[in-house]
Amino acid sequence: MYIAQAFNTLHDWWRYIIGVFIIVVGVFIGQVPFTAAVMIKAFKDGKNPSELNQSVMMSYLEPNLNLFLMLLSFAVGLVALLLVTKYLHKQSFTQLTTSRKQIDWKRVLFIFFFWGIISSGLVLADYYMTPENYKLNFQLKPFIILCVIAIIFVPLQTSFEEYMFRGYLMQGIGVVVKNKWMPLIITSAVFGLLHIANPEVEKLGPMIMVYYIGTGLFLGIMTLMDEGMELSLGFHAANNLFTALLVTADWTAFQTHSILKDMSDPSETALSEIFVPVFIVFPIILFIFSRIYKWTGWKEKLFGKVEEPALLTSEINTIGHGTDI
The domain spans of the chain are 4-320
Span 73-84, mean pLDDT? Answer: 98
Q: Measured on CA atoms in the order 58, 62, 63, 64, is the torsion positive or negative?
A: negative
Q: Taking a C-beta distance cutoff of 8 angstroms, is the pair 67, 150 a contact?
A: yes
pLDDT above 90 covers what percent of the chain?
A: 77
Q: Is the pLDDT of residue 20 over 90?
A: yes
- Give 264's pLDDT tier (boundaries 50, 70, 90): confident
Class of residue 79 by CB neighbours under 10 A (exposed 0-12, middle 13-18, buried 19+): middle
Q: What pLDDT score was predicted for residue 314?
A: 41
- CA–CA distance, 231 with 214 (Å, rounded to integer): 16
Of residues 314 and 51, which shows the higher confidence score? 51
Q: Is the pLDDT of residue 222 over 60?
A: yes
State the average pLDDT for the chain.
Answer: 90
Q: Is the pLDDT of residue 248 over 70?
A: yes
Q: What pLDDT score was predicted for residue 38?
A: 87
Q: Taking a C-beta distance cutoff of 8 angstroms, is the pair 189, 161 a contact?
A: no
- Give 214's pLDDT tier (boundaries 50, 70, 90): very high
Q: What pLDDT score was predicted for residue 315?
A: 45
Q: What pLDDT score was predicted for residue 320?
A: 43
Conformational region of residue 22, where left means phi above 0, alpha means psi within -120 to 50, and beta covers everything else: alpha
Of residues 71 and 51, which shows the higher confidence score? 71
- Give 198's pLDDT tier (boundaries 50, 70, 90): confident
Is pTM beyond 0.85 here?
yes
Q: What pLDDT score was predicted for residue 58?
A: 66
Of residues 192 and 44, which shows the higher confidence score? 192
- CA–CA distance, 60 with 99 (Å, rounded to integer): 42
pLDDT tens by residue, 89-116: 999 999 999 999 999 999 999 999 999 9
Q: Measured on CA atoms in the order 131, 57, 161, 193, is the torsion positive or negative?
A: negative
- Give 323's pLDDT tier (boundaries 50, 70, 90): very low
Q: Taking a C-beta distance cutoff of 8 angstroms, is the pair 20, 56 a contact?
A: no
Q: What pLDDT score was predicted for residue 245?
A: 96
- Give 205's pLDDT tier (boundaries 50, 70, 90): confident
- Give 312's pLDDT tier (boundaries 50, 70, 90): very low
Amino acid at 313: T
